[in-house]
Amino acid sequence: MKKIINKPENYTDDMLHGIYQAHPDMVKYVEDDLRCYCTAQKKEGKVAIITGGGTGHLPLFLGYVGENMLDGCGVGSVFQSPSAEQIYNISKEVESGAGILFLYGNYTGDIMNFDMASEMLEMDDIQTRSIVGADDVLSNKNPDARRGVAGIFFMYKCAGAKAAQMGTLDEVLAAAQKAKDNTRTVGFALTPCIIPELGHSNFTLGDNEMAFGMGIHGEPGVWNGPVKTSRELAEESMKEILGDMSVASGEEVCVLINGLGATSQEELYILTGDVEDILKEKGIKVYRTFVGEYATSMEMAGASISICKVADEEMKQWIDMPVHTPFYTQV
Amino acid sequence: MKKIINKPENYTDDMLHGIYQAHPDMVKYVEDDLRCYCTAQKKEGKVAIITGGGTGHLPLFLGYVGENMLDGCGVGSVFQSPSAEQIYNISKEVESGAGILFLYGNYTGDIMNFDMASEMLEMDDIQTRSIVGADDVLSNKNPDARRGVAGIFFMYKCAGAKAAQMGTLDEVLAAAQKAKDNTRTVGFALTPCIIPELGHSNFTLGDNEMAFGMGIHGEPGVWNGPVKTSRELAEESMKEILGDMSVASGEEVCVLINGLGATSQEELYILTGDVEDILKEKGIKVYRTFVGEYATSMEMAGASISICKVADEEMKQWIDMPVHTPFYTQV
């Protein structure tokens, strides 16, 4: 295992220590627990949005806590859920009178703990709503059973903007739902990643082998085979995405080309060019393009393509609203 | 070679095609040459700043072309210099009456071509000045012979800000010089990277071997040996940096923790925590921290640590000036 770390068992907390050192003006923790990650810029009367999930996906999940996005994040160990108590403690800190939206990825452990936190908050008369990201088309035929991956960015963006516009809890939930309904992702991995505490990857890929449809925790994909070209990967991904969500010629979409960790920005832009060429060939207009690392799997090589169909003018406002977090700034 | 690409020989141009597709409002090219990369938001009467260098280091070099930073970038093939003619053509496009600063890394091919472009512009009565980044402490004992690496970011930031403040050509040069005088970098690699057209790396590192002091083109480091811990790497790097540039207790610095490509953001923040702990132990104050990919070597694993001593209040203004490029936004 080649990583720049100290003790593997301190991976998550050492990372958090560095983040708080680097950005003390923007984020803080509560209850003396580094994993109870909260904005340092609470806004009174605003719906609070809380996310959470395992470590190993930066900037997901905590990287989106900041101005006009999220208010708190429960941080689990690598690929593990945060506890219900941590989510509860964050909630008590960031809630400011308008209720809380829980917005996180569709994983069993997370659902259990967020639901438990919700029940604990109910006893304190704090209102919550929950919605999960489930954008990974290839993870399941049933949309409700799909995993949440990089496309959750659009849910964060839209819900965060609606909350910043001082929408009600149900309006903020509806904004997240609108982004969810219009977003699809397909991803593929070229190498595995290593969980620090294990010291090895939990699967292998051959010298010229890739996994199409693989999840960000290494969940098996729909095929393993020789590495295809960027254009071929773009075509196969777009076929899956547009087969699952129809986008007509003349309609507008946002494109998110996400690196899984070890893939160079050069490659991400080569892929971007191919994806946008395909959209152009179909007469689909690109409203805005996002390229970079939005949801990773530590040092996994690979990428994902997310398409978010622009539903209406309101959604454009949400997408375009400036945001500022330690990990992501948009003007 | 596992990369998301099409034909290896089209790597640079396919990448540029994607960048222009993604960010048509911000950047453009001239002379029908994708590699003549210019801002789409030229500002009259401002000193133009032009950089350049080989492909394979995104966001270096072209990623810093944008609002309050740079105006153009000559893009070479992977690890190759752009041509003098390309630099000349970019210069003719972005120059707007106040002269041009050439600001790039200290590499032989680049120096030759920028100098040649300078002579060509002189014949057109366009004034130029040149300065090279040479922040890599371990690359040479002689400061003038050092390579330019991630620390060039602070030169871009300061010179870009001074130009945005409508400084004269010599004032913009002086701002770059001030950043240069106060910036030092040490880097280390855990894996090599592969040049697409070659299809293999030009060196190897063993299973638990790293190279301390290695350059971003794979130039040999000062030692190869077993992978050390983050804290050990931080200590050894800070010893080299502070041995080369004295920073007294109570003085302020900016910290830039840069990923070389394949290293996870989690690891970069673990390293950040260790570097800032060391600074704290020495009574050195951190004015601002930057963490992420600022100068890479495609999919090389590793990191670099840059320290920029805050020389005065003017420099703080430059560091803090908002910037906006397709690759880097600061508010």
Residue A202 has pLDDT above 90, yes or no: no
**What is the H or E stretch that residue B55 is in?**
strand B48-55
What is the spatial distance between Cα A107 and Cα A146, in angstroms, rounded to a whole number?
A: 9
- Please report the pLDDT score of residue A294 as a whole number: 98
**Segment 30-49 of chain A within 8 Å of chain B by CB:** none
Tell me which residue in A11, A22, A231 faces B266 most closely, judged by beta carbons.
Answer: A11
Cβ neighbours for A232, distance < 8 A, ≥ 6 positions apart: none
Q: Cβ separation of A190 and B2 shorter than 8 Å?
A: yes
Which residue matches tokens 């090895």? A200
With left for phi above 0 and alpha for psi between -120 and 50, is residue A250 left, alpha or beta? Answer: left
Catalytic residue among B17, B57, B200, B324: B57
Q: What is the pLDDT of residues A216-272, one digit of tens each?
A: 998 999 999 999 999 999 999 999 999 999 999 999 999 999 999 999 999 999 999
DSSP A128-194: EEEEEE--BGGG-SSGGGPPP-TTHHHHHHHHHHHHHTT--HHHHHHHHHHHHHTEEEEEEESS---
Q: Please indicate whether residue B200 is annotated as part of the active site.
A: no
All residues of chain A having their beta carbon less than 8 Å from the beta carbon of residue B302 are 4
* Candidates 2.40.30.10, 1.10.357.20, 3.30.1180.20, 2.60.120.260; CATH matching A183-312: 3.30.1180.20
Q: Cβ separation of A329 and B327 shorter than 8 Å?
A: no
Residue A152 has pLDDT above 90, yes or no: yes
Residue B277 contacts A where some CB pair is shorter than 8 Å: yes
Best residue in B270, B288, B289 for a mutation probing chain A (most A CBs within 10 Å):
B270
Q: What is the pLDDT of residues B16-52, one digit of tens each?
A: 999 999 999 999 999 999 999 999 999 999 999 999 9
Best residue in B3, B4, B55, B80 for a mutation probing chain A (most A CBs within 10 Å):
B4
Domain ranges of chain B: 8-181+322-330, 183-316
Query: Which pair of structure tokens corresponds to residue B211?
Result: 């190279």
Q: Cβ separation of A18 and B303 shorter than 8 Å?
A: no
Residue A203 has pLDDT above 90, yes or no: no
Residue A230 contacts B where some CB pair is shorter than 8 Å: yes
Residue A44 has pLDDT above 90, yes or no: yes
Nearest residue on chain B to A17, alpha-carbon basis: B273
Q: Give Rg (Cα) of chain A.
A: 19
Residue A234 contacts B where some CB pair is shorter than 8 Å: no
**What is the H or E stretch that residue B267 is in?**
helix B265-281
CATH H superfamily, domain B183-316: Dihydroxyacetone kinase; domain 2 (3.30.1180.20)
All residues of chain A having their beta carbon less than 8 Å from the beta carbon of residue B233 are 4
Q: Please indicate whether residue A57 is annotated as part of the active site.
A: yes
Q: Is the ipTM of this complex over 0.85?
A: yes
Residue B288 contacts A where some CB pair is shorter than 8 Å: no
Question: Under a CB-based contact definition with an 8 Å cutoff, are residues B197 and B76 in contact?
Answer: no
Cβ neighbours for A153, distance < 8 A, ≥ 6 positions apart: A64, A256, A290, A294, A295, A306
Tell me which residue in A231, A270, A286 faces B15 most closely, judged by beta carbons.
Answer: A270
Local confidence band at A1 (pLDDT 50, 70, 90 cut-offs):
confident
Local confidence band at A104 (pLDDT 50, 70, 90 cut-offs):
very high
Q: Cβ separation of A265 and B55 shorter than 8 Å?
A: no
Query: Which pair of structure tokens corresponds to residue A25?
Result: 């003006």
Query: Which pair of structure tokens corresponds to residue A301?
Result: 């090589």
Tell me which residue in A18, A298, A301 faces B269 most closely, judged by beta carbons.
Answer: A18
Nearest residue on chain A to B324, alpha-carbon basis: A331
Q: What is the mean pLDDT of each run of 10 residues along chain B (331 residues)?
A: 96 98 98 98 97 98 98 98 98 98 98 98 98 98 97 98 98 98 98 94 91 93 97 98 98 98 98 98 98 97 98 98 98 96
| Dihedral in degrees, nearest 10, Cα atoms A202, A205, A210, A212 | -30
All residues of chain B having their beta carbon less than 8 Å from the beta carbon of residue A80 are none
Q: What is the pLDDT of residues A302-321, one digit of tens each?
A: 999 999 999 999 999 999 99
Q: Cβ separation of A233 and B4 shorter than 8 Å?
A: yes
Q: How far is B48 from chain A (nearest CA, A)?
A: 23
Asked if the bond preceding B327 is cis, omega within 30° of 0, the reply is no
Query: Which pair of structure tokens corresponds to residue A271?
Result: 């892929």
Which ranges in A245-281 belong to alpha helices (H)?
Answer: 265-281
Beta bridge partners of A74: A36, A52
Cβ neighbours for B141, distance < 8 A, ≥ 6 positions apart: none
Q: How far is B327 from chain A (nearest CA, A)?
A: 9
Highest CATH level, class, for A8-181+322-330: alpha beta
Nearest residue on chain A to B270, alpha-carbon basis: A15
**Segment 3-32 of chain B within 8 Å of chain A by CB:** 3-6, 11, 14-19, 21-23
Length of chain B: 331
Cβ neighbours for B10, distance < 8 A, ≥ 6 positions apart: none
Best residue in A266, A284, A305 for a mutation probing chain B (most B CBs within 10 Å):
A266
What average pLDDT does the segment A65-79 reach?
98
Closest CA to A153 of A174, A183, A115: A183
What is the spatial distance between Cα B246 and Cα A230, in angstroms, rounded to a whole number?
A: 48
